[in-house]
Structure 1
Amino acid sequence: MLRKTIALSLLSASLIATNANAADKLIVSTWGGSFKDLIDKAIGQEFTKQTGVEVEYVTGGTIDRLNKAKLAGTAESDVTFTTSHVGWLYTNDGLFEKLDMSRIPNASHLVDQARLSPSHIGVWGYVYTIGYRPDMVPEGITFDSWNDLWSPELEGMIAFPDWDPSHIIAVSAKLSGTDAEHWEQGQDKLKALVPNIKAFYTNDANSQQLIATGETSVQLLLSMNAYHMMDEGVDIKLAIPKEGAVLGVDAMGINKGTEQADLAYQFMNIALSPEVQANIARINRGSPVVDNAKVDPEIAKLPGMLTTADQWGATLDTDARLRAEKTAEWRKWFSENIMAH
């Protein structure tokens, strides 16, 4: 009888421990592919090492995950990674908690461009700029200026993302003497680029495939994707035009109604630690969003890496809230006037 009682007690303790471990799990929503791998290697594994709590990932496209959360009225995760402007859409729809910054002490070192809203903050930076296959572009094309994309020699060679035209809209506005807020003034400039467009890529994997195969030899390219492909042996170069590359910041927020708020704050604080931020730069060339990360000098000097205030300030930086407000309008105009032709 005593043995039976002890056995039952041990079984009960085991079940309690199992249930506790199951409860202590952080669910993170993110993109798939190399970005999910980056988050796991740089942040998730360090979080588990420090807390003993496992991280589970749910993946999908930026807008797909937002729409899913809007339909459900809540997200299926505790922490969400998204882009800076889509983070505003989560915020405006009440899908993110307002952040208590006192619970993220490492956020005191955030660069200004990563202080996005009361509900989401940057986790790494990058640029969208001109990426090209040097063996496949016409001789004499240098990409010293964004205007070089309009060169007649590039007819039928360029690819752009189909889900977010804000980057090339900001460029066209800049070349037309204005900014993204007054983007209409750059419409004619952008329409003049149509003959040079070969394709519109639907996601990061599609972008990588198009330029790796040479189907498009020039792209408006995410710098982190370019370096990922370089690591895989694809011959790609990045150019930083004199007008500045287009700034991008990926962000994180805590989902409304999460029951794991304490763990979510720990995760975000670990993500912003100088060691993890330097590791993000090492693994996938994401620019640190804190000013106290020590980045390898060989990585820091790469085109598109942002490690000083001057470098952050030299980018074409469209306000994330403005991008959120204009996203639907810009996508509609771009679809009807650029993609349709």
Structure 2
Amino acid sequence: MRLAFTGAVALLLTSTAVSAQTVTVSTYGIAQDGFKKHLYAPFEAACGCKVVVEVGNSGERVAKLDARKANPEVDVIALTDFDALDASNKGLTETLDPKKLTNYSKLYEFARDPLGGNKGVGYTYYSTSIAYRSDKVKIESWADLAKPELKGRVALPNITTSQGPLTLFMVDKAVGGKTPDLAAGIDFVAKMKGDVTTFYERGSQLPQLLQQEEIYAAVLGRFGWAGIKKLGMPIAWATPKEGQSGGMNVLQLVKGSKNADLAYKFIDFWLSTEVQTKLAQDLVDSPVNAEVKLDDAVAENLTYGSDTAKSLALIPPAQLLEQRKAWVDGWNAKIAR
């Protein structure tokens, strides 16, 4: 028996033409149990179709998309906003038609067309700040990462991670940087690199480092905050005077998709109030659907609400793409050497 849904979910067609189809989704490997429970399985039940999932990091999946562009196997791809813009610039994705998305008007304004030209639609976003031992140090600025109390007790993301450019962007802002190559921020990190415990590659390393008291502070995305809170230690989330940074993930329709109609339905389903609420309640993703209402206990673990979104210092995707090589070159020359 098919599941009953409300809103946009109820609009899914269950004709034999659709039920014979498969939608292939390229996405990140994180929280796949939650996505299967609240997204993939309900969509399959509602449309009588099959969802096939390919997982991996952004670079790997964009490279696969490029290699298969003559005969694409993926219909929908989930990427960071700047990787999505890169994929679009390479001609790997299609322009979206918002009229085919019944939930489009329910999204926060910043999520509707984050890349410009309807190249993609936001499905989640997050803030990036500093988690710190409040009994050991006080963090009021991004420049406080170099405080004496944190000498040999701080973890920063490597430049190759999604959090790396965001960290440099905010540190540069804190120390008065004026140039797009973030030279001031790179110099700041270079001066303190001997006091950094690790330039981490995976955020999953951070809870253990904090628990073992190898670090007292770390830069991370809000999506990792729930795991930090579970440690039951005096750890706070910083609200630096320069603000918090963050990022957005977007959904795109792959160019040449063989199941474009079903792909649109899948994207619309993902953006629905019902699905966004369930994913948020299980701490899988922060919602971009403005109709989602969360209680304080859940909201505390996520990036939630229009006021929070407006307060974030986000790097424009085009700027990140344009400057990324200069940032990596500067990092390698002064920090990684």
State the identity as a percent. Answer: 26
1:115-130 aligned within 5 A: 115-117=113-115, 118-130=118-130
From 129, 134, 152, the equivalent of 1:156 is 152
* Secondary structure at the counterpart of residue 33 of structure 1: coil
* Secondary structure at the counterpart of residue 286 of structure 2: coil
2:40 — aligned with what? 44
Gaps of 5+ in 2: 1-15
Q: Per-residue CA shift, 1:315-336, capped at 9, x if unaligned? A: 1111122112222322222223
Runs of 4+ in 1 over 4 A off after TM superposition: 19-23, 206-215, 233-236
Change (3 A) 1:131 1:285: farther
Q: Which moved more, 1:329-338 or 1:213-222?
A: 213-222
Change (3 A) 1:259 1:285: closer
From 84, 88, 102, the equivalent of 1:91 is 88
CA contact (8 A) 2:203 2:220 kept: no
Gaps of 5+ in 1: 1-18
Larger CA Rg, structure 1 vs 2: 1
Count of aligned residue pairs for this structure pair:
314
CA distance in 1, matches of 2:283, 2:110: 20
* Partner AA of 1:39 in structure 2: F
Q: Per-residue CA shift, 1:240-296, capped at 9, x if unaligned? A: 223221121111111111111111111111111122222222112632212222222
Q: Which moved more, 1:213-222 or 1:238-247?
A: 213-222
> Displacement of 1:204 after TM fit?
3.9
1:93-172 aligned within 5 A: 93-114=90-111, 115-117=113-115, 118-132=118-132, 134=133, 139=136, 141-162=137-158, 163-164=160-161, 165-172=164-171
1:1-341 aligned within 5 A: 24-34=21-31, 36-73=32-69, 76-114=73-111, 115-117=113-115, 118-132=118-132, 134=133, 139=136, 141-162=137-158, 163-164=160-161, 165-178=164-177, 181=180, 183-207=182-206, 210-211=209-210, 214-230=213-229, 233=231, 235=233, 237-284=236-283, 286-300=285-299, 302=300, 305-308=303-306, 310-340=307-337
> Displacement of 1:215 after TM fit?
4.2
> Displacement of 1:170 after TM fit?
1.0
TM value normalised by structure 1 = 0.82
* Partner AA of 1:56 in structure 2: V
> Displacement of 1:213 after TM fit?
5.0
CA contact (8 A) 2:25 2:74 kept: yes
CA distance in 1, matches of 2:239, 2:277: 22
RMSD: 2.7
Change (3 A) 1:277 1:71: same
* Secondary structure at the counterpart of residue 193 of structure 1: helix
Q: Per-residue CA shift, 1:108-163, capped at 9, x if unaligned? A: 2222332222221111111111123x3xx773x12122222110221222222321
CA contact (8 A) 1:170 1:180 kept: no
* Secondary structure at the counterpart of residue 226 of structure 2: helix
By percentage of residues, which structure has more helix? 1
Change (3 A) 1:99 1:81: same
Q: Which moved more, 1:68-77 or 1:96-105?
A: 68-77
